[in-house]
Amino acid sequence: MKKRICVIEDEKDIVRLLSYNLSKEGYEVLSYGSGENAFEFIKTNKPDLILLDIMIPAMDGFEVCKKLKANQETESIPIIMLTAKTEEANIVTGLELGADDYITKPFSIAVLIARVRTSLRRSVKSDLSTDPVLSFKNLKIYPDRYEVYVDDKQILLNHTEFKLLCCLASQPGRVFSRYQIIDSMQGDSEFVTKRLVDVLLVSIRKKLGAASAFIQTIRGVGYKFKAPE
């Protein structure tokens, strides 16, 4: 069955460009021109991935993303945000709201398609019994499934947050500088910066609740994951 991609974008030339190239790759493409009622459009059409422009009429992409990630029916759908804005603040905002990736205009079609494929691969769930697990008391991390559980309740992290948590948890006790964290994640996210590492860790800790105690700040150096004794 074809993967269904929903493009929420008001620039008709971009919609045509994306529709043509994604269709050539074998995807089914749906498009919607504004943020107004986009939530109902997505619930009705149930896409496998969303390409979401920030500067859309009626309700901007940030608001649409926030609404989608707050609803159980749509929270697991990967979102790649599209925008002409390149300021780091906008990248941080999109990721904090749950976006999985971020591409700035003008973009390479080849790069965009590669990122689409990667996001779709991440969203595929494998059998739980075959997954390796990083287990620390009430915290369980399944790297192959991109899933995190605290007290057997699933915690929803976006891709960048998940990769950062795995970076720390995969080597308990090791202190990572911000630059080492950036290096470990650079293959997945071209936009990781020192400031973004700090922002992402604030978000991860908030989502983990009591389990956030595993992540420790080493003042003047960086961060480490402290495994339970």
pLDDT in tens, 5-51: 999 999 999 999 999 999 999 999 999 998 888 888 898 888 999 99
The DSSP result for 35-50, as a single string, is: STTHHHHHHHH--SEE
- Are residues 30 and 117 both part of a single domain? yes
Which region among 12-16, 120-124, 195-199 has the lowest average model confidence (pLDDT)?
120-124
pLDDT at 127: 36
Clarify whether residues 114 and 132 are in a common domain: no
What is the predicted pLDDT for the residue at 83?
79
Pick from 72-86, 182-196, 205-219: least confident: 182-196
Which pLDDT score, from 0 to 100, does residue 133 have?
Answer: 87
pLDDT of residue 100: 84
The verdict on 49 and 145 lying in the same domain is no
Could you tell me the residue range of the domain that residue 46 belongs to?
4-123
Question: Comparing 218 with 229, which gets the higher pLDDT?
Answer: 218
pLDDT score of 229? 64
Instruction: Determine the pLDDT at residue 145.
Output: 80
Residue 191: predicted pLDDT? 59
How many domains does one find in the chain?
2
- In this structure, what CATH number is given to the domain that contains residue 64? 3.40.50.2300
Strands (E), 54-209: 79-83, 101-104, 134-136, 139-142, 147-150, 153-155, 175-177
Higher pLDDT, 45 or 184: 45
pTM: 0.62
7 near 31, Cβ under 8 Å?
yes
Backbone angles phi, psi at 149, to 5 degrees: -130, 135
Side chain identity at residue 83, one-letter code: T
Shared domain for 61 and 171, answered yes or no, is no
**49 and 152, same domain (yes or no):** no
CATH code for position 197: 1.10.10.10
| pLDDT over threshold 80, residue 89 | no
Domain end call among 95, 123, 151: 123
Q: Please state the length of the chain.
A: 229
Per residue in 128-155, pLDDT tens?
344 578 999 999 999 888 899 999 999 9
Claim to verify: residue 92 and residue 44 sit in the same structural domain: yes
Q: Measure CA 143 to chain center.
A: 14
Question: Average pLDDT for residues 157-183, to the nearest whole number?
Answer: 88
Say what the pLDDT of residue 131 is. Answer: 54
Q: Say yes or no: 22 and 98 in one domain.
A: yes
